Amino acid sequence: MTLRISKQFAFSASHQLDGLPEGHQCGRLHGHNYVVEIELSAGRDQLTGPGFVRDYGDLSGFKGWLDEWLDHRHLNDATKESPTAENLAVWIYESWITVYPELTAVRVSETPKTWAEYRP
């Protein structure tokens, strides 16, 4: 049996994507109100304390990192890869898997109707 928890976080940032056809709207400088959802999982025998996959309070470090490094930033300057939702999901996962070994997925949304998910 696997138990999963998730929590959503938000930040606002700009980006501009290269390699698109001329006139593509995402090739212009623009911004989004991003939503990032991280998912953590554990087996029932791995739960901690009163029965947590991880205490939600332990995720405050992630929120602080988002606020410091991504919120109200130009993502082309903040990341090494093209700042697509897909690349952001991978980058966030790889940046946080050592802090949260229970991390099983990262979802990044640029709009309320679109998500990119990285689930290794």
26, 30, 81, 94: the active-site residue: 26
DSSP string of 36-103? EEEEEEEEGGG-BTTTBSS-GGGGHHHHHHHHHHTTTEEHHHH-SS---HHHHHHHHHHHHTTT-TTE
* Count of structural domains within the chain: 1
Cα–Cα nearest to 6, from 35, 48, 44: 35
24, 72, 81, 94: the active-site residue: 72
Active site residue 32: no
Active site residue 26: yes
Tell me the per-residue pLDDT of 41-97, one tens digit each, with 9 for 90 and over. Answer: 999 999 998 999 999 999 999 999 999 999 999 999 999 899 999 999 999 999 999
Tell me the per-residue pLDDT of 94-118, one tens digit each, with 9 for 90 and over. Answer: 999 999 999 999 999 999 999 999 9
Tell me the per-residue pLDDT of 11-51, one tens digit each, with 9 for 90 and over. Answer: 999 999 888 788 788 778 899 999 999 999 999 999 998 99
C-alpha–C-alpha distance, residues 30 and 41, integer Å: 34
Active site residue 110: yes
What residue numbers bound the domain in which 26 lies?
2-118
3-state secondary structure of 25: helix
